[in-house]
Amino acid sequence: MRAGAESGWDFSSRWLRDTQSLTTIHTTDIVPVDLNSLMFAMERAIAARCRTAGDGACASAFTTRATQRRATIDRYLWQATTARYADWDLSTGKPTGSVNAAMLHPLFVGLASPAQAKAVAKTVRRSLVADGGLRTTTLKTGQQWDEPNGWAPLQWVAIAGLDANGEPALAKDIARRWIGTVGAAYAETGKMLEKYNIEQRTPGGGGEYPVQDGFGWTNGVASAILDRYRELAARDANPGK
C-alpha cells in the first residue's frame, strides 16, 4: 500500500493481481516503466552535469548506468507483439496485462526508438484516447488512477512525448480534448480540479477521498498547453469559430 501511494498512482489496477480488488495489491513486485524512464532521464542529467563540471569519471559512470537501463527497458519492458511498454511482474516473470498511460514515459524522456514511438502511438490511438483526453488505464475499477479518470501530468507526458517523437497531430489532438474537458468542468463548477472524468467531461471520482479543488498540476498543464497551442485558447474564447 505504501509503495502504491509513493508511486503517485494511488491506487490503480496496475498494482493489483485481481484488477477489481485492492486487497490484492502487490506494488513491490512490479517494475514500473514510468519510474525506470525517469531514472534513465536522471542518470543522463547527472552525466551531463558531471561533464560540465569536468568530472569525467562521474560522467562515464552515469552514462553507463543510463545505457544499461535503456537496454534493460528494451529487454523487459518493451513488448513488440502488443506495441506497448509494459510494467514487469517479478512474481510471475512476465509483463503485466495493464494497458496504461505510463507507456508514454519512454517517449517523454527520449529513450524510445522511432519504431517504438510509432507503435506506441498506434496503441494510444486505439486504446487510450477518449473524448476528453488520455485515459489512465482501460479498466473501470473504482480506483482513481483507472478509467474513466484522466490526470493532468499524464496528459502532458503524452503531449510532449508524442510531439517530440514524430506524432504532432496526435499530441495536439490529446491537448485539444483535454482543454475541452478542463473548460467544460470549469464552466460547470467555476473550479480547476485535481482529476476529471474524461468520458463525460465532468469532475473525476473514485478513490479514497473527494475530488480536490485547485489544482497545481491542472493549472500548470493547462497553461503549458495553451502556451504551446495558442489557437486552442483562441477557439475557447470564440467557441463559434
Q: Which of 34, 146, 167, 194 is catalytic?
A: 194
Provide the residue ranges of all domains of the chain, joining segments of one domain with +.
Answer: 2-237
Residue 134 has which C-alpha cell? 488520455
Cβ atoms 217, 150 nearer than 8 A: no
- Concerning whether 227 is annotated as a catalytic residue, the answer is no
DSSP secondary structure letter of residue 4? H
DSSP string, 91-132: TTTEE----BGGGGHHHHHT-S-HHHHHHHHHHIIIIIEETT
Residue 114 has which C-alpha cell? 522511432
pLDDT of the residue at 234: 72
- Concerning whether 6 is annotated as a catalytic residue, the answer is no
Region 2-237: CATH code:
1.50.10.10
Residues of the chain with pLDDT under 70: 235-241
pLDDT of the residue at 236: 53
Cβ atoms 40, 73 nearer than 8 A: yes
pLDDT for 94-104, tens place per residue?
Answer: 999 999 999 99
